[in-house]
Structure 1
Amino acid sequence: GFFMVNVSSPIELLHAQAEGEKEPKNRWLLALGGLLCLGAGYGLALWVQNPMDAFVLFFLAVILVIVGTYLLFSAGSIALLNMLQKNRRFYYQTSHFISVSGMKYRMKANAASLANICILSTMVLVALSTTICLMMGMDQSVETAYPRETTLSIYSQDGNYLQDFDQALAQSGVQATDVMAYTLFDIPGTVSGDTVSNLGEYGKPDMRLFEFIPVGQYNNAEGTDYTLEPGQVLINPGSDSWGSSLTIGDRTWSVAGTVDGFPPSGLGINMMGNPMLVVLPDEADIAWLQTLVPEEQRNVTNIFAFNSPDPDRDAGILKDAFEQITGARPFGDTRQNFALSLQSMYGSFLFVGIFVSILFVMASVLIMYYKQISEGFEDQKRFDIMTRVGLDNRQIRKTIHFQVLAVFFLPLAMAGIHVAFAFPMISKMLALLGMGDITLFMITCLIVFAIFAILYVIVYGLTSRTYYQLVKGMSEETEE
């Protein structure tokens, strides 16, 4: 506006309103740029498989989608309407002729505001869906991380601490039940087909976390009776699929089958998400795997989980006894303490999500309200012109009602599409926070979208009253 005042003469400014509004032109480069930005953002959301990569690339995808949304609303909508106008069979019909012509000018004036509403609505949907899902799935996350009331762990390079745990349990006098003890060797690797390489190297493409356990310890932990021949493995591929073989280094194992469950380590949240379990025939196989990685990465996690009458007291007593025997103190916690820490973290996320959503909803409501007022003043003149050229009030109201509905509900539909494409990436990011239930997240997204859509309709209905009062007042003056 400041630039236009400087380049225009006072006479031009005084008579600008009488000159009429210029027809919006096609800006194909901007429309194409919007499609490319939106496609790139959607592509990132669908392409990323590793949760850590999803967390890093999420903000890039957000920026691309925001830029694409603004360009499509400002240039893409005009290009689409001009294409419809050139279609003679479609355009030269009574309802289409007036609606398409009017929509071109509405989109020209409202593109930025509608894009703002779309982006704010998307942020509300994402913020509420993720934070509510975390709170609703907290109990499941706690149960997954702590299958027993108490879980203690310690690292070693030889994995021989399980007997020390048994000795400490006998010495401490803790009445432990449902004891679950095993060793776990976990290490990241790069996946290419059925081959795993680059063990221990972080930040590589197609990186996954692999967890290796001997079949005997798996049977003791899970109460199963699997047997494996040399050269065979059992796997739990997580949410992905796997082939009939597994190759690491110069060894290839045949996949004898899959296992349904695996006792988690109880070490909290797995920051790499979607690990793959590999059950090996013998502990010697794990020792061989350790030789493939640097010495500082050859640690094996010894895990000792159990139930007891007083978890907090018994955990401390067992830690002291273990430290007296080995000189090393295990780390770990109880299920209740872990639940409290998750409740604190997820509760903070929920507060921030609700607070930010309220701000975004307020901004959207203000934009929608003032756009309705500006639309009402503009449509006063359009209503008068349509009346003078012979259109009846019923047809005029129908046309304007269709245009207003299409303009103001287009951001809601676009926000729903944004969330749908972002769903895979956000679900992988939630895995980093211990929430791996995709079904729960999907249900939460649908419920939040439905509630937000109802609120959107209510706000639209309230703000549209002002619009129709302005247009109705002008129509009554015209009839007089």
Structure 2
Amino acid sequence: MKSMFYPKLAWMGIRKNSRLYIPYILASMGMVMMYYIVAFLNTSSALQSVPGGEVMQSMLGFGMYVIAAFSLLFLFYTNSFLNRRRKKEFGLYNILGMGKWNLAKILVSESVMSAVISMGGGLLAGITFSKFAELGMVNLLMGEAKFSFSLGAEAILETLKWFSIIFLVILLQTLWQIRGESAMELLHSENAGEKPPKANWLLALTGLVILAAAYYLAVSIENPIEALLWFFVAVIMVIVATYLLFIAGSVTICRILQKNKSYYYKTRHFVSISSMIYRMKRNGAGLASICILCTMVLVMLSGTVCLYAGTEDSLRNRYPRNIMIDASFRSMEAMESGVMDRVREAAGQAVSAEGDGTLITENVLDYPLVDFSCIMAEGQFRTHDENASAFQMSDYADAWQIFLVPLEDYNRMMDQKEALAPGEVLIYTTKRDYEKDTITVNDGEAMRIKKVVPEFVQNGVDAEQIIPTMFIFVPDLAEAARPLEGLVNEWGNPVMGFRWNYGFDLDCGDEMQMRILDRAQAALEHEMMRMKADQDALDGTEETSPFLAYSRCAAKERATFYGLYGSLFFLGILLGVVFVFAAVLIIYYKQISEGYEDQARFEIMQKVGMTETDIRRSVNSQVLTVFFLPLIMAGIHLAFAFPMVHKLLLLFSLTNLKLLLIVTVCCYLVFAVFYMMVYRITSRGYYHIVSMWAEKK
């Protein structure tokens, strides 16, 4: 045989099966394009030079692995549709005299052609759109972008390497399947396995129980740390339950409909139900895959869109004032030495110097506190001192950050007139509620909770940590802290710390705020050096200063926040598009493969009197019976996942529940419209296939 015989045969096979190959190649090109764009952005010098760009590129590096792994699984899955349709053709070749080695040459030629077209077209599209993606990323970071075309040689090589491996793995799996089947098995492969799965009720009940357990986890967890620990467990449970319910439950539904004589014995329902019930194992798996992909898209988009839209809210939670000063002291005596007055004066001088005396500080935040971390165990808080066992990972579900704050500062900051009797306290909690009536620390005296106050001025510390915080407002700070004096942890550091939070807002631009920050930081460093010198002269030691402080500015950190949330938003959009590609292609192949399988059945039914109108009604009945189940189920999954997603977003300092609700509902509605458009297109393709025999007459 001539050397070009097998490539010609392969190309002819691709052309004859263009209805199957073109969507597969287009999806492969889309995967290659997405991977190249992310790889290009990960090495982009323009992105690296923008503030926050390094943070964004570190997140994009993670996105590269996600897209590569998903591309392998998805293309491996969709290639099975191609194999199923082509096996009959290969069986015919086998009967006509071609051996398995000859078939392997055809498959290798087809695989090389598909890979070359996919990688070539994908890289061309990726190179074309990569600059637009770069400009979009720079805009997300609020930077200035310049339009200059460039090629990412490193990204091209990385893309070619990974997708060559992916196509090679797919080819090897196809060759292995052909090797193990006889000519007759290949010829009848389309009809193999058309038996309803056994033990449907047992599988359906198992899936229902697992899904109920996953839903219970999602809605019952109150602690954001527990939500983080259990999130992936709940995701796996939902995936397993979805497959069980769609595979077994769909068969059960078909059988129930079959027993309903008034529904089943109608022209538009009879053929669709009787044909679906014998292939529901594959049909259910496809529907479950669509449902899981839809849920992933919705959860990902709603979370990342909400994060990016709420960036300023998160920034404000992390930095409650434009200028923040956090100070720590070695002891209560150092805190009461007058240093706080000197820092206030120095901060005021920095504002006056930069603002020419016209700027004034607003919304001043000013209060001292004592802080310590502890674990809720056996009904009381226990600190991690040198005599306690080391914290385990499971302990962090019960971990708390405690702030002791003077009652007078609470009344001053919140404009209240609360009073406390001996042994009484007020509390305010974040991220989770505290349901007991008393508070006990390390077997000490119980403090009775007089009231849980609705709000307090945050200091930014709670927003940067994942454990919940409890503010305890006490009549006397020194007296409340005395039981913890002298306690040290396993590293020899004091269990509790003495701190002071000071901050204020300014009515000026970001650049002036950063200049004021630099002046304030210089004043803080001068004060720390002065106090260290006084301490050294007093006791002759060379220890660190009894006062340590640093200043922070929201304007200076804004780029980092937009880098993190912007990259998550971009990855959410990009991966959402990838998952949508996957869902659409699975829907398309599901409709096309079932169309070919049902073609003969509809031909027989039309010969015995079924009209073209009846066929169209039957097609709509079949598609509507199962097609919208994934969308409805994805909506239910999303609704139950909402509380857990909200808890996880709290870890990113996003507390705007209303924003998350609006974004989630909008994402679902937009996706539902898109889903219905796909339904309309694929149902027409299905109808065209099942009625092709009539068109040939």
Task: Give a deviation string over 1:228-275, Cα, whole Å, max 9, x none.
Answer: 222222222446555572221342333333323211113473322543
Question: Aligned pair in 2 of structure 1 residues 465, 100: CA closer, same or farther (>3 Å)?
Answer: closer
Compute the TM-score of the two structures, normalised by the length of structure 2.
0.62
Matched residue of 1:262: which SS?
Answer: coil
Displacement of 1:132: 0.6
Name the CA distance, whole Å, in 2 between partners of 1:470 and 1:281.
80
Task: Give a deviation string over 1:292-336, Cα, whole Å, max 9, x none.
Answer: 774532113321112356432222222222232234552231121
Question: Aligned pair in 2 of structure 1 residues 264, 20: CA closer, same or farther (>3 Å)?
Answer: closer
Displacement of 1:364: 1.4
Displacement of 1:434: 0.6
Aligned residue number for residue 302 of structure 2: 129
Displacement of 1:351: 1.0
Name the CA distance, whole Å, in 2 between partners of 1:144 and 1:23.
55
Aligned residue number for residue 60 of structure 1: 233
Question: Aligned pair in 2 of structure 1 residues 302, 410: CA closer, same or farther (>3 Å)?
Answer: same
Aligned residue number for residue 449 of structure 1: 668
Instruction: Indicate conservation of the 8 Å contact 1:133/1:441, yes or no.
Output: yes
Counterpart code for 1:165: M
Task: Give a deviation string over 1:390-440, Cα, whole Å, max 9, x none.
Answer: 444434422321211232222112211222222122211111111122222
Question: Aligned pair in 2 of structure 1 residues 474, 256: CA closer, same or farther (>3 Å)?
Answer: same
Of structures 1 and 2, the one with the larger relative CO (CA 8 A, separation 6+) is 1
After TM superposition, the structure 1 = structure 2 runs for residues 431-470 of structure 1, keeping only pairs within 5 Å, are 431-470=650-689
Instruction: Indicate conservation of the 8 Å contact 1:182/1:303, yes or no.
Output: yes
Matched residue of 1:272: which SS?
Answer: coil
After TM superposition, the structure 1 = structure 2 runs for residues 165-184 of structure 1, keeping only pairs within 5 Å, are 165-171=340-346, 173-175=349-351, 177-178=361-362, 179-184=364-369
Matched residue of 1:463: which SS?
Answer: helix
Aligned residue number for residue 211 of structure 1: 403
Aligned residue number for residue 380 of structure 2: 196
Counterpart code for 1:275: T
Cα root mean square deviation, aligned:
3.2
Matched residue of 1:198: which SS?
Answer: strand
One of 222, 229, 232 as aligned partner of 2:414: 222
2:522 is equivalent to residue 320 of structure 1: yes
Question: Aligned pair in 2 of structure 1 residues 5, 141: CA closer, same or farther (>3 Å)?
Answer: closer
Aligned residue number for residue 307 of structure 1: 505
Name the CA distance, whole Å, in 2 between partners of 1:207 and 1:108.
46
Matched residue of 1:375: which SS?
Answer: helix
Question: Aligned pair in 2 of structure 1 residues 335, 466: CA closer, same or farther (>3 Å)?
Answer: same
After TM superposition, the structure 1 = structure 2 runs for residues 28-427 of structure 1, keeping only pairs within 5 Å, are 28-86=201-259, 98-159=271-332, 160-161=334-335, 163-171=338-346, 173-175=349-351, 177-178=361-362, 179-191=364-376, 195-200=379-384, 203-204=394-395, 205-238=397-430, 240-243=432-435, 245-248=437-440, 249-267=443-461, 269-288=463-482, 290-291=484-485, 294=489, 296-308=494-506, 310-325=512-527, 326=531, 327=545, 328-427=547-646
Name the CA distance, whole Å, in 1 between partners of 2:223 and 2:188.
60
Question: Aligned pair in 2 of structure 1 residues 83, 407: CA closer, same or farther (>3 Å)?
Answer: closer
Question: Aligned pair in 2 of structure 1 residues 419, 187: CA closer, same or farther (>3 Å)?
Answer: farther
Name the CA distance, whole Å, in 2 between partners of 1:133 and 1:99.
42
Computing the radius of gyration from Cα coordinates, the structure with the larger value is: 2
Name the CA distance, whole Å, in 2 between partners of 1:435 and 1:372.
42
Higher mean displacement: 61-70 or 422-431 = 61-70
Name the CA distance, whole Å, in 2 between partners of 1:317 and 1:227.
39
Counterpart code for 1:170: E
Name the CA distance, whole Å, in 2 between partners of 1:187 and 1:78.
57
Instruction: Indicate conservation of the 8 Å contact 1:24/1:104, yes or no.
Output: no
Higher helix share: 2
Question: Aligned pair in 2 of structure 1 residues 49, 264: CA closer, same or farther (>3 Å)?
Answer: same
Question: Aligned pair in 2 of structure 1 residues 11, 122: CA closer, same or farther (>3 Å)?
Answer: closer
Matched residue of 1:251: which SS?
Answer: coil
Name the CA distance, whole Å, in 1 between partners of 2:190 and 2:410.
80
Counterpart code for 1:39: A
Matched residue of 1:261: which SS?
Answer: coil
Residue segments in structure 2 that go unaligned for 5+ positions in a row: 1-83, 85-173, 352-359, 385-390, 532-544
Higher mean displacement: 455-464 or 200-209 = 200-209
Name the CA distance, whole Å, in 2 between partners of 1:197 and 1:418.
36
Instruction: Indicate conservation of the 8 Å contact 2:591/2:686, yes or no.
Output: yes
Name the CA distance, whole Å, in 1 between partners of 2:471 and 2:279.
57
Displacement of 1:28: 4.5
Matched residue of 2:455: which SS?
Answer: coil
Residue segments in structure 1 that go unaligned for 5+ positions in a row: none
Name the CA distance, whole Å, in 2 between partners of 1:364 and 1:330.
53
Instruction: Indicate conservation of the 8 Å contact 1:41/1:64, yes or no.
Output: yes
Instruction: Indicate conservation of the 8 Å contact 1:107/1:407, yes or no.
Output: no
Displacement of 1:462: 2.3
Matched residue of 1:81: which SS?
Answer: helix
Name the CA distance, whole Å, in 1 between partners of 2:595 and 2:215.
36
Counterpart code for 1:311: Q
Name the CA distance, whole Å, in 2 between partners of 1:20 and 1:261.
62
Name the CA distance, whole Å, in 2 between partners of 1:96 and 1:236.
60
Count of matched residue positions in the alignment of Structure 1 and Structure 2: 477
Name the CA distance, whole Å, in 2 between partners of 1:416 and 1:231.
50
Name the CA distance, whole Å, in 2 between partners of 1:262 and 1:93.
66
Name the CA distance, whole Å, in 1 between partners of 2:450 and 2:644.
32
Matched residue of 2:646: which SS?
Answer: helix
Name the CA distance, whole Å, in 1 between partners of 2:375 and 2:264.
56
Displacement of 1:384: 1.8
Higher mean displacement: 8-17 or 21-30 = 8-17
Aligned residue number for residue 102 of structure 2: none
Instruction: Indicate conservation of the 8 Å contact 2:444/2:483, yes or no.
Output: no
Name the CA distance, whole Å, in 1 between partners of 2:191 and 2:478.
89
Matched residue of 1:264: which SS?
Answer: coil
Matched residue of 1:333: which SS?
Answer: strand
